[in-house]
Each structure stands twice: as C-alpha cells, then as structure tokens.
Structure 1
C-alpha cells in the first residue's frame, strides 16, 4: 500500500498493514515482518507488526461502522483524527502515561504508535487475579493533569474555546448519550441481558426517582464542557505492569464534565470488586482510594500553583469544585455499572463468571449497586461511603 496525496480509505489487512509499515520505513529494508490483527474492541482494526528482533509497532485503523453491530451502524472516520490529536495533546501533559504516536493519516483513519505488548490490558490482568500496584496512582495523576490543563483553571479561556472546536465529536458522544444514559433505562432493542434479569431490569425502567437522577446526569454530560475528556476510560483502555501504566483508545474524547472520566474509572473498578469474595475485594477497592487521593492531591496542587483563573484563590472554591467532581463521578459510575450489565457493550468481569447462577446473582447485585450510586450520589461523601455500600448491599459473592 503506497501512500500518495490521493490515497483513499480502505480497511487494512494483515498483508497491506505490513506493506504500509514498509512504505513508511518503520523497519529496516528486508526485515522479516510478522503481523497479527489483535483488535478486540467494537470500533477498530488493530495490527501488531514486529520484526525478527521482536521490535514492533501498532497500527490502529478506524472502521466506518461499529464492529459490534456491523455495517448497519455507520460511524465517522474522523474519530481517528480525534484520537491522534488527543494523544499528541496528552503527550505534552502526561508523556509517561500514554503510548508514543509515530504517525497519523486522516485519509486512511490510522494512528501508528508505540508497541505496548510488554504490558497487559488491566481488565484481563484483574480477571487473572493480578493487582497492578501503581495503576491507580498513575491514573490519578493522568486524570488530574489531562483534566486540569484543559479546563478553564489551567488553560486560557480563549485557547480552551479553540481547542474545543478541534474536539467536537458528535457521533461518538451520541453513542455514550444513548448507550450509557438512555437505552438501559428504557425498553430499547440495544439492551442485552439474561432472561433471569428481566424483573430487575423492569424495576429500573419503572423507577421514576432513578430516571430523574439519570436525566440530570445526562444533561450534565450534554452541557458541561469543563475539560477535554478521554471519554471511555475503563480498565480495557489501560495497559499496565507492576511499574508502568499507559492509557489508550481516546477516540471518544470531547469537552465534558470532569467527573465523567473519574466516574468511568470508578465504575470499572467496582465492576471487578463485586465479583470478588470478601477476602479478595480489599485489594481492588484500594484502587478507588488511591485514584481519588492521587487525583485530588495533584489537581489541588495544580489549582494552587498553575491556575490562570483569579477566583481559584477564593477560599472554599477548591473544596466546592472537588465535591462537585466527586458527586458527578458517583452518579456517572452508577450509570456505567448498569449499562455494562444490561446494555449493548458488556464487560468480561461479569460475563465470564461461573457458574451461571452466580453470574446472575452478581449481575443483580451490580444493578442494585448502580441504582444506589445514582440515587444517593449527593449523599455519598467519600470512598469509605462507597465501600460501605459494597459491604452492605453486595452480598453472597462467595
């Protein structure tokens, strides 16, 4: 695949991905290259190319439709540009916590980046009982820096408005608006759940108090352009090891409420926590404490030392803002827990539980947890309160 100024989009194959890598001279001439398509997500092709010395690159290409549904669900290829631009921006803020970007091509909807195959997807590691001791410290730093420096506190307001224009992402935002905030709370054809959950699902659909709180959260998501979000920060979008952490897949990036990215991470830790028995749960819950402590410590330090907004020196303003972020995050986490249980895109944390009867029981508990988080977000003060909810309401996991 020789790239020219008139090269048109076509989906890569393992063969053409190798040709592309050769044309762009990522490997020495004559290198023996091996390519494997490793994408396991819903929206993209991902090729891992390596030579005989095991030196590699990743080529990620957006598809013009959602893999999870097929060509009947078309999607913009512009999301690849969004992803590449997000990673380039993040490289100035948290270079140690994202993959290096080597090349982007808008026409082909590709991003070529650092090979992270020496690391492991966090969700997969959790399922194998691994813990990743520095994960949440790193994610707390990642959240604080990427969110502060793209907010009105860390970025000149005029520059922020210009940056917002570059990250207008309506089609992928629509996916979140529908799949996270709408469809799970109504009888929608996108929902996907076991027949044994129908009673619990109908309780959600008929809960007016719950739906009012979800409506408020959706409105916040739609209207609060506080900072540049990753937009899909779950444990399947993070590579890690004992010492390293790398955040990937920011194609959902847009300007939204800071609590959304925080809440997405909260939710996916909780989804793993509820699958553990009492003796194993503490190590997972510790990630909630660490990420919030890391986020608030770094964000507060930046607020005090790097802010461009005069009012950040006003007593009480920081505490007010962090409380707002936490409350939003709890509500958003509740929505994410529910949608990952009965919505279109599930998580292996729940779907791989055996035996089947236990899977149904844990999913019922997940739905209960999600509802409780949403309805009580304003009264949940800290991570200790979240842990108490787990102890009080998530029972019988053994």
Structure 2
C-alpha cells in the first residue's frame, strides 16, 4: 500500500535532519601547528576560531582565544638573553684586608683613605693582629722588624697570604734582615723595580684650577737648608762647607741650633728662592721629600743625589738645579746669585707649573698600592728569594 506523498515528504525531511545531526556530532576537530615560539602539550588543539586568529598580524591574540579545547595555556617564550653590563674590577672585586704589623717609625697613618686618595676601592687596612689569619697581606716595615726576625720566621703563615717588605730608606741606611731569604713575597719601595712602586712624590698633570691659581710665593731669603742629620763623613757636608763660603745660606734644624716646627718648616721653604735638597746618600731613584717639598711650595730645589738623567725620569728638566751641572761649588753659587738678580731667568724654573703639579707621597700609599697590586696580580705565585741582595745592588 502506497503512502500518501505528503507523508513521504515529511519522512524525507526527518531523515535529512537526523543525518545532519549525526554529521555534526561526529565531525572530527582540525589539528593545527603549534603557535610559533609557544610550547603546546601533545593533543592540544585549536578550533577554527583559533586558527583564524593565527592568520592575523597580531599573533598575541592567540593567548586570549576562549575556544581552546583544553584549558592549558602555552608556556611563555623564554626572554632573550641580555648582554651583561661591564662592571670594573675595582667595583666587583672582593674586599682586600691589609694588616700593618708595626706602624713605620711608630707613626700611624689613615686606614680608610685609599678610595679618596687613590680611587682604590674595597681596601681595608687594620692594625688588629687578631685578624692575622684573615689578612690578604701583611706589611712589615724593615726598620721596625730587623731585631725580631727570629720570631717572624717561626710565625705560621696562611699559604696564600703575602708578606710585604716595606721600606723607604736608601740601601745605605737600611739594615739587612738576618734570615730574610725566602721570607717575603713582595717589595714596596721607591725603587722602580720594586713589585709595588711607591715614590716619595709624583709630578702629575695639573688641573685647570692648579694651573691658573699658582703664583710664586714672596721671597725674602736666597738659599735655605733645614737639616738635623749631620755627619762630617757625608759627601753633602763637605760640599756644603765649601759652597757656603761663596753665598749666604740660611741654616735651620738641629745642626744649626734653630729648631723648626711643622708649620714653620713649610713657611721657611716657601720663603726661599732656592732650597738645598741634599740627599744623605746617593742611589738610583732615591729622590725624597727633600725635593718634592720645595717643588710643591714654589721653591727651586738644588739637588745632590743620583745623576740628572735619573731625576729627569720623574721631574721636568728645568724644575730643579743639579750640582753636577757646575764644575765647582763656587760656580754653582755664582749662578744662583745671577738668577737672584734676574727675575725673568729665575721664573723660567716655574714654567712647568703651567702644565704640571708636584704631589708629596703619603705613608698609607704603601698599603693602598698593595691592595691595587693584589687585585691585579693576586693569582700569581711570588716569593722574593733574597731581598737583602736585591736592595743592596
């Protein structure tokens, strides 16, 4: 029996709807490639809505897609490595501890001025022997330890600790240390071949203020000499005895019976046109405060010491007068008298002050420069085999 056509039409529509429902229900989702630079877990999928977002220029919208089948968010991409900012060694190096075993000649010096004076950071100076085992270096002033060498040789020393032989006296006035062989690691001295070079002073580039503010002080004396250490056997004494017969010299100090206080010392030197910077012994590089004091105070030093060529390694050639430039003490005296009468010629000895300035060294520089040395060469093994032989050369 045939069904009416109306019923057939309704049955077809129902079948089509049912088939459409089955198709939609069983349709498989579309797998896509992982989002660039994101790490997706296995089987993570994105609907067509998400796929549409992937084609857009603003790819970041994928993180806001609400139709991700699973709620696992992609792992954020690792940040690009940043270039490390360079930090100077002086800023990032560890602290360095320097132990002063005995104050040189009993005179204390500043223990916290390395950065202010020399821009040497993270340097700590102590006199506390309780920190001996922690000290990176120990400073031994030669003149203060030569009677205690037997005890020092028995003192246990940490393997990496440096013992610094420190001295500013000339070899002629420095005691040899009995048993000093193989005992010290470093030397700190005015000699240029010392491990740590610490001269009595330095001539440095002047600042604009130092250049413009300098004026030659008022002078009311021609030649001056402040001296207490007097021995007839010294070469400088014999030279002075003859020199002073040809020119007036204002003598001060214990030998001349005119003791000078600290403040007066500098006033006297600056009030003299020439100052006798006569060293007590003559050795290479031994150029002491006897020269640097008058240079800083606006007075021309007349020097006895190493050859002129050695002085000129550290001082402007026309900043001083060397006795070796004259055949006799009388010839030197005549030249100074000539300069006294000719102010223009005298002032030529100060032309260097347009460019440079003299600075007197300080006792703490030995400790500060030791810090600087250890920071630059701290990993290097070093033992000084025979400091006595080296210094007596």
TM-score normalised according to structure 1 size: 0.26
Larger Rg, first or second structure (1 or 2): 2
TM-score normalised according to structure 2 size: 0.26
More helix by share: 1
